[in-house]
Structure 1
Amino acid sequence: MKVCPNCFSDTEIKGLISTSEEKGNCNICNSKDVHLLDIKELYDFFEELLENFQIVEDGEPLRSKIQSNWSFFASRGTATEILNSVLFEISSEIISSDDLVDYTSEIKENYNHWEIIKEELKWSKRFFINTAQLEDLGWDGFFNTQYELKSKDLLFRARVHHMSGLPAISTSDMLCPPKNKASGGRANPLGIPYLYLSDSKETTLYEVRAAYLDELSVGTFKLKGGIEDLRIVDFTEDTSLFQPTMVKDTIKARLLREKISIDLSKPMRRYDSEIEYIPTQFICEFIKVQTGADGIRFRSSLDTKGKNIVLFDQNKIECTKVTLSKITSLKLKAIDL
């Protein structure tokens, strides 16, 4: 069996197959005049991949599990054909793409440890958490998915005015509050201010929960002159599964980041306790120390198209202008509970 780039959605494996010198028609996805690679060349990768799954009674079909978590193949049909062909040739307890599977206990214990850490930080061990255990689990290497914030990139931050008719807030006042006035947030502890920004003006309006007819100051930010880029740990990136010799760590890291990302994005409700912030404050501190990154990026739960960026040091960025804005329309949606 030979496969082509169009059999897959994963960018890394598509790139590998595209380097093949052989070209022709693909019998799997019916693509014409494409690069072809004998599936035998991928047996080692698939064997390594399948070692991370175990058969369980209440599991999910293997093809569905891989597709729902990773979108690895171009389609479920393609996944079925390729997996069944590979499973016939390699050594695995799984013999069919229909077999019900889940991740191995080792992988589940790794990402589920986040729930244990959350409870410890909130209710039993706040300042003497066992970080050595996290390093043993490999967490110190799981936050290397980073992107570079460039000098050309613009970011935004909004502040709602407490009354109408006020002028726009000055550029200097759009930065973090002073340490003695910095309250705890989703990423920063009390007294340690981080700068919360969004990648669009629309997203930052949602993030400050602006109401109808509210007047706001919206600041535009960019890196200070002389700073070419900042390294940001990215909780929004879809990591490629095709990482030969590193598949297990790739799965562990991706699943852990996804669980943490949910908590980073979760909006705080009026009746929530600030204790709920502590686990994400901890993981941001862990990232800052372990990776040396300048901040984090995560998805906005209030604006599904937007992303938020938190910078650990505001001195690397500046507010270049502030625009006075007013909310003229608002759309709310409720669901029955």
Structure 2
Amino acid sequence: MYCCENCFKDRFLINKIRNNNIIDSCDYCYEDGVKVIKVDDLADVFAIFIPYYEKLEHGEHFIHEVHDPVDIGEFLYDLIQHEWMIFSAGIEGQTAKSLLTDIMLSLNSEYSEADLYVKAAEAVYFESTLEVWDNFSEELKHGNRFFPSKGYIAENIVNILKENNHIIPQSAIFYRGRIGKHIIDNMGAPPNEIASPGRANPRGISYLYASPQRKTCVAELRPYKSAVITLVEMTAKRQLKFVSLNTGRALISPFQFNGNLLEATETLSLYQKLVFELSKPVSPDNSEIDYLPTQYLSELIKNEGFDGFMFKSSLGPGDNYVIFNEKNVDLNSVEFCKIDEIQYTVHQSF
């Protein structure tokens, strides 16, 4: 039995099937002339789910006289698809269930798609996202600043980063702003000697913060009404290799984490929290030490040879760029703007 690249949404599986380099007909979506793979050849990959989900058993997970099994367990397909979005919309439903059944039968001849499953106890009682974040940030601040005790976290985050690269083309235009009037020579990144710590950079290491949208660039400055600001237009001297931190969980594959789904889930929770913290407006109450976790992520990106990264702005309508080396951009021209109006939205805090 063959399945094809169109059967899956997961990018790891799509690439695996493309690299298999066999063109034939798919036995599930019935496409002809597509890249395919034998279902049996996916068994080892899907084995990652075996310790993560376990079959619902009377006496262990429920009592027949007390519980209705359907109130406690779910079909394995529903658990996997809800959490990881493996299968494409084109076959989602019974066809995808049949494909999963055939894969799992390659691993276990007694598997039945009618069986109910639950997350394994170890997965259920694993650290929450908040606990993962608190423990990680506390260790960086007051324990192991450069080498966290859970070494797999860095390795797994790097795997996520490599799957989410984004190319900024040569001559792409973006902007940087400063409050007040400044000459163009003062609109680049600050010298290392006076670089204060920020979300991405530690003290003494200067990065260039920019945005491809004027409005976002202005919003990130948080100017006051009637403030004069200077905007510099910049262009990329060459093609820049970025990491896009704007990807959702559906674009991250469970199969890229070297076989341990518990560690993958922990890393993914931490990664999403790091991206959220990066996007938050910088608070004047933040101390230098509060930036350490997001600086750690920034340094991982830099160490992997990327030129910078992009993430959603929480203040403006677009993205923020962090460029590690300002020599990769040209400063073209400056313009002066005056802030005429500022709008605030207020809600009651409980």
Name which of 236, 239, 245 aligns with 1:235. Answer: 245
Corresponding residue for residue 171 of structure 1: 184
Alignment of 1:1-337 (within 5 A): 2-14=2-14, 17=17, 19-23=21-25, 28=28, 33=32, 35=34, 37-47=37-47, 49-51=48-50, 53-55=52-54, 62-63=76-77, 66-75=80-89, 76-77=92-93, 79-91=96-108, 96=113, 99-101=117-119, 115-122=134-141, 124-125=142-143, 129=145, 131=147, 133=149, 136-137=151-152, 139-140=154-155, 142-143=157-158, 145=162, 146-161=165-180, 169-210=182-223, 214-224=227-237, 228-237=238-247, 241=253, 246-248=258-260, 251=264, 254-288=268-302, 290-303=303-316, 306-326=318-338, 332-337=344-349
Give the secondary-structure state (helix, strand or coil) at the position aligned to 2:119. strand
Structure-1 separation of matches of 2:191 and 2:139:
30
Code of the aligned partner of 1:86: I
Gaps of 5+ in 1: none
Change (3 A) 1:219 1:247: farther
Code of the aligned partner of 2:157: F
Contact 2:73-2:116 at 8 Å conserved across structures: no
Moved more, 171-180 or 85-94: 85-94
Change (3 A) 1:159 1:13: same
Pairwise CA RMSD: 4.3
Q: Normalising by the residue count of structure 2, what TM-score does the alignment of the two structures yield?
A: 0.69
Deviation at 1:73, TM superposition (A): 1.4
Give the secondary-structure state (helix, strand or coil) at the position aligned to 1:152. coil
Cα deviations by residue, 1:172-197 (Å, 9 ceiling, x for unpaired): 22212334543321112233322111
Change (3 A) 1:324 1:212: same
Deviation at 1:114, TM superposition (A): 5.0
Structure-1 separation of matches of 2:155 and 2:256:
20
Change (3 A) 1:291 1:21: closer
Structure-2 separation of matches of 1:277 and 1:334:
27
Q: Percent identity?
A: 27
Change (3 A) 1:51 1:201: farther
Structure-2 separation of matches of 1:186 and 1:59:
42
Change (3 A) 1:191 1:130: closer
Contact 2:254-2:264 at 8 Å conserved across structures: no
Contact 1:110-1:137 at 8 Å conserved across structures: no
Structure-1 separation of matches of 2:196 and 2:256:
44
Contact 1:9-1:71 at 8 Å conserved across structures: yes
Q: Normalising by the residue count of structure 1, what TM-score does the alignment of the two structures yield?
A: 0.72
Change (3 A) 1:256 1:279: closer
Change (3 A) 1:218 1:68: farther
Structure-1 separation of matches of 2:87 and 2:104:
16
Deviation at 1:294, TM superposition (A): 3.4
Structure-1 separation of matches of 2:240 and 2:201:
19
Code of the aligned partner of 1:42: L
Change (3 A) 1:14 1:189: closer
Code of the aligned partner of 2:197: G
Change (3 A) 1:34 1:321: same
Cα deviations by residue, 1:237-269 (Å, 9 ceiling, x for unpaired): 565528589454894665543332122222234
Code of the aligned partner of 2:86: F
Moved more, 82-91 or 181-190: 82-91
Give the secondary-structure state (helix, strand or coil) at the position aligned to 2:321. strand
Gaps of 5+ in 2: 62-71
Structure-2 separation of matches of 1:93 and 1:327:
69
Contact 2:175-2:210 at 8 Å conserved across structures: yes
Structure-1 separation of matches of 2:288 and 2:87:
42
Code of the aligned partner of 1:156: Y
Code of the aligned partner of 2:147: T
